[in-house]
Amino acid sequence: MPSETRLLSTVIARPWKDVYAYASDPRHLVDWAAGLASAQVEPAPDRPGVWIVDAPFGRSEVTFAPDNEFGVLDHVVLMPDGTEVPNPLRVVPLGDGAEVVFHVRRRAGMSDDDFAGDAAAVAKDLETLRRILENA
Q: How far is CA 66 from CA 11, 23, 41, 132, in A?
A: 23, 13, 17, 24
pLDDT for the residue 3: 74
pLDDT for the residue 99: 99
When pLDDT is averaged across residues 96-118 and rounded to a whole number, the result is 95
Above 70 in pLDDT, residue 106?
yes
Q: Using an 8 Å Cβ cutoff, are 60 and 79 in contact?
A: yes
What are the pLDDT digits (tens) for 42-66? Answer: 999 989 889 999 888 889 999 999 9
Above 90 in pLDDT, residue 115?
yes
Q: pLDDT band at 2, cuts 50/70/90? A: low
CATH number for the domain that contains residue 98:
3.30.530.20
Above 60 in pLDDT, residue 21?
yes
For the chain, the domain total comes to: 1
Tell me which residue range forms the domain holding 114. Answer: 5-134
pLDDT for the residue 1: 53
Task: Dump strand ranges (E) for 1-136.
Answer: 5-12, 41-43, 50-55, 58-64, 75-78, 84-87, 89-94, 97-105
When pLDDT is averaged across residues 104-112 and rounded to a whole number, the result is 92
In this structure, are strands 41-43 and 50-55 parallel, antiparallel, or unpaired? antiparallel
Above 60 in pLDDT, residue 25?
yes
Q: Is the dihedral of CA 106, 109, 115, 118 positive or negative?
A: negative
What are the pLDDT digits (tens) for 71-84? Answer: 999 999 999 999 99
